[in-house]
């Protein structure tokens, strides 16, 4: 270690974090109750010690609650941490100051976890050799080439949820930099061919890979999904090619720019409900060593106790004025400086809780996000529940928010499984869930429709397993959801029975068809189109290995399902009637004779709403103008095939577009290859979705 002494000035309280210019670097950090603060400067992410320690003086380096210092001529690439000390009032005030703990800058744009040891951060004393560090970067040194966030209207969106690491880590991905932002760039042509409009990235803000239960850690497993954020302004170093050089921002911007050039938007899965600092015995990383009494919900009578509404040990006190400002500033940063197009908020209902944990009718942070001018064109998606029983699907605060529609997921799973008694609710969900959203001024785009996501079975496993099989996680199969609404088609897990394999494949196609024929915004889980399996593990949060990685060999192995999904997306895109911005009325639009939607059973105009054993639903969708073909859709999930009537529309004939019971490529046919149906009825096989497109006589 070579000691050097850079000259310093008082600095400025704004902006927070480290800010580089040609004359040096301004550092600013918030702490209301710290009594002593010092800045430590390092040559690299793994230097054994700092080359300079700079103590800050209360009289000259503090303005209100911000501590600040300006270091003259300090270069880009300098790594740094903070240390703080203050009163020892844990139970009374929630202070957790430790003068020996190295703290990350919460506003850091790039961080390193190269020598990170979570256990050392949980214990008292100096962790300088094993702490994470922040680095000074020059954010302005980047050529966006005219890029701006995309403005794809929500009714035209088709979201594809993927894990940056797992998407390309499998050797079959054959990319130069597996598991990185750069590796994902190499797979953009595949995403284009599929036809999706947005990628929704599982957490890419820097997270703690060591945040797993002890028995899981003992198996050599780590936090894979990334729902353990510690640095909300920094891309995750594990997804970068050269994080030790502080290239995080550049590498992420390269990904966004490449996706935008390909016509695809970027939605980030963000985790503002909790952090990786966990509960009472968790590590000191940043917030709890700076002002945990402000940033977290603490017990009213004993502030050493964390309130936990997230199941992760702590809950962010999101509606404290400072914390609310931090969250909104962070989101605006990712839109303004990183050009992202939207956010999906994990356990978003936790953000609706007040400082005493009460549910707020008008949570300031949620309204602040909705009313932010910089976020006005940004997609906002809520997972509208938390781990403490608050469930707000259909009642999430605000007007512009879309919601993961868990009720859509559940009823479609039950219907495709073959359950009875779900026809009426299924129709409501397919039509956009007006019962949930219309009364409060919502739209069909308020519903994010999904059948599978990262959390739970893959689509193929949904039809291959009746029970979860999470033994590999080290928690004796206690973790993960027990209510999967799945059906193994007769055999639990792998089989070579061709009848069962064909049924599983057909059910997967049925699910894709229903999802992409529904009003609202469809979301697909990456790899479902490949019939990707996790061997029945429905909680792969700790499995950074081939169990959860996408096996790209399956692109050829299951080319028929990949093609089916491609063609289903293409069909959706050519039918505006499937992407309506307003709710269906059951009445003809102006100048039309056909109602926007008409419900049927096997007989025209006779839906079987009151039959408790019904497993068939049919409906006709009118084209929105004279150029768009009408659609007639039949979904038969019963065990018996049946003949169904086709509606008679003057001047038009029907052509068969989709029949999921047929082998590829007959299962879905492009318009120019469709065959005309010459009879007023059609046989629909069991466990089958059939779609007809109209054509002028």
The owner of tokens 């961080």 is 111
The Cα–Cα gap between 602 and 609 comes to: 12
| SS3 at position 418 | coil
CA–CA distance, 179 with 162 (Å, rounded to integer): 12
Count Cβ atoms within 10 A of the Cβ of residue 203 and give its class: 0-12 exposed, 13-18 middle, 19 or more buried.
buried
The half-sphere exposure of 685 on its side-chain side, counting CA atoms within 13 A, is 13
Beta bridge partners of 425: none
- In the set 161, 346, 461, 596, the catalytic residue is 346
- Which residues, listed in sequence order, are joined to residue 595 by a DSSP beta bridge? 588
Strand 342-345, strand 379-382: pairing: parallel
Helix (H, G, I), strand (E, B) or coil at 173: helix
Go through 52-67 and write b for each residue having 16 or more CB atoms within 10 A of its CB, e for each that does not.
bebebeeeebbeeebb
CA-CA distance, 330 to 277, in Å (whole number)?
A: 19
For the question of residue 143 being annotated catalytic, the response is no
313: DSSP letter: S
Among 524, 529, 469, smallest CA distance to 494 is for 469
Q: Which of 113, 383, 403, 461 is catalytic?
A: 383
Radius of gyration of the chain (CA): 27
Element (H, E) at 260: helix 248-261
Query: Token pair for residue 93?
Result: 């005030």
Q: Half-sphere exposure of residue 349, counting CA atoms within 13 Å on the CB side?
A: 21
Q: Per-residue b/e over 509-533, b at no fewer than 16 CB within 10 Å?
A: bbbbbbbbbbbbbbbbbbbbbbbbb
Q: DSSP label at 377? A: T
What is the C-alpha to C-alpha distance for residues 236 and 247, in angstroms, rounded to an integer?
A: 11
DSSP 629-679: PPEEEEEE-SSS-EEEE----TTEEEEEEEETTSPTTTTB--GGGPEEE-S
Least Cα distance to 42 among 135, 106, 131 occurs for 135
Give SS3 for 543: coil
Could you confirm whether 678 is annotated as catalytic?
Answer: no
Beta pairing partners, 207: 229
Q: What is the residue-wise DSSP string for 439-495? A: GGT--GGGEEE-S--SSS--HHHHTT-SS---GGGTSTT-SS-S------TTSSS--
Q: How far apart are CA 363 and CA 422, in angstroms?
A: 35
**One-character DSSP codes across 573-638:** HT-GGGS-SS---SSBPTT-SSBSEEEESSSTT---TT-TT--EEEEEE--SSTTSPPEEEEEE-S
Q: How far apart (Å, rounded) are the C-alpha atoms in residues 442 and 433?
A: 10
**Helix, strand, or coil (residue 663):** coil
C-alpha to C-alpha distance for 522 and 500, rounded to whole angstroms: 27
d(CA 215, CA 175): 33
Q: How far apart are CA 208 and CA 116, in angstroms?
A: 9
- Longest CA span, the chain: 89
- Catalytic residue numbers, as ranges: 346, 383
């Amino acid at each position: 270690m070579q000691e050097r002494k850079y000259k310093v000035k008082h600095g400025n309280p704004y902006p927070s974090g480290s800010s580089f210019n040609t004359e040096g670097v301004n550092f600013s950090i918030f702490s209301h109750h710290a009594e002593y603060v010092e800045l430590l400067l390092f040559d690299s992410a793994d230097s054994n010690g700092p080359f300079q320690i700079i103590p800050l003086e209360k009289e000259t380096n503090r303005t209100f609650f911000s501590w600040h210092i300006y270091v003259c001529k300090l270069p880009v690439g300098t790594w740094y941490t903070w240390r703080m000390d203050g009163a020892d009032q844990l139970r009374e005030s929630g202070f957790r100051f430790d003068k020996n703990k190295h703290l990350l800058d919460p506003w850091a744009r790039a961080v390193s976890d190269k020598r990170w040891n979570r256990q050392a951060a949980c214990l008292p004393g100096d962790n300088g050799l094993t702490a994470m560090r922040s680095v000074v970067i020059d954010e302005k040194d980047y050529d966006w080439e005219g890029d701006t966030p995309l403005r794809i209207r929500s009714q035209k969106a088709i979201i594809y949820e993927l894990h940056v690491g797992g998407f390309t880590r499998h050797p079959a991905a054959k990319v130069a930099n597996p598991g990185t932002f750069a590796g994902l760039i190499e797979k953009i042509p595949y995403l284009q061919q599929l036809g999706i409009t947005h990628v929704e990235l599982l957490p890419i803000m820097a997270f703690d890979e060591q945040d797993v239960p002890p028995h899981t850690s003992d198996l050599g497993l780590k936090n894979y999904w990334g729902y353990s954020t510690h640095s909300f302004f920094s891309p995750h170093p594990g997804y970068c090619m050269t994080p030790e050089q502080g290239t995080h921002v550049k590498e992420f911007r390269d990904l966004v720019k490449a996706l935008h050039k390909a016509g695809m938007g970027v939605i980030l899965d963000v985790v503002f409900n909790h952090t990786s600092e966990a509960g009472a015995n968790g590590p000191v990383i940043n917030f709890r060593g700076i002002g945990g009494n402000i940033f977290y919900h603490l017990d009213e009578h004993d502030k050493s106790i964390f309130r936990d509404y997230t199941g992760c040990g702590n809950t962010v006190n999101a509606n404290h004025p400072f914390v609310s400002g931090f969250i909104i500033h962070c989101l605006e940063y990712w839109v303004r400086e990183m050009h992202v197009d939207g956010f999906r908020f994990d356990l978003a209902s936790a953000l609706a809780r007040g400082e005493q944990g009460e549910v707020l009718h008008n949570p300031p942070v949620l309204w602040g996000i909705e009313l932010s001018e910089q976020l006005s064109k940004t997609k906002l998606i809520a997972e509208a529940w938390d781990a403490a029983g608050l469930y707000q699907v259909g009642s999430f605060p605000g007007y512009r928010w879309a919601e993961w529609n868990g009720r859509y997921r559940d009823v479609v799973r039950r219907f495709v499984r073959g359950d009875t008694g779900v026809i009426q609710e299924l129709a409501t969900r397919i039509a956009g869930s007006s019962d949930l959203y219309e009364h409060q001024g919502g739209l069909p785009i308020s519903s994010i429709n999904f059948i599978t996501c990262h959390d739970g079975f893959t689509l193929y496993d949904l039809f291959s397993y009746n029970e979860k099989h999470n033994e590999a996680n080290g928690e004796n199969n206690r973790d993960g959801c027990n209510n999967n609404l799945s059906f193994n088609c007769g055999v639990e897990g792998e089989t070579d029975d061709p009848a069962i394999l064909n049924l599983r494949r057909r059910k997967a196609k049925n699910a894709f068809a229903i999802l992409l024929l529904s009003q609202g915004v469809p979301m697909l889980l990456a790899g479902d189109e490949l019939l990707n399996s996790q061997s029945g593990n429905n909680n792969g949060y700790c499995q950074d290995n081939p169990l959860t990685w996408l096996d790209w060999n399956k692109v050829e192995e299951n080319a028929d399902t990949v093609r089916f999904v491609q063609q289903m997306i293409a069909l959706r895109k050519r039918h505006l009637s499937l992407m309506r911005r307003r709710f269906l009325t059951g009445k003809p639009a102006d100048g039309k004779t056909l109602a926007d939607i008409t419900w049927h059973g096997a007989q025209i105009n006779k839906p079987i709403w009151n039959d408790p054993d019904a497993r068939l639903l049919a409906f006709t969708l009118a084209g929105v103008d004279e150029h768009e073909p009408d659609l007639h859709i039949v979904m038969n999930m019963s065990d018996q095939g049946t003949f169904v009537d086709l509606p008679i529309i003057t001047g038009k004939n029907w052509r068969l577009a989709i029949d999921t019971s047929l082998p590829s490529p007959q299962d879905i046919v492009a318009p120019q290859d469709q065959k005309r149906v010459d009879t007023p009825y059609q046989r629909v096989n069991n466990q089958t979705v059939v779609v007809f497109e109209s054509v002028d006589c």
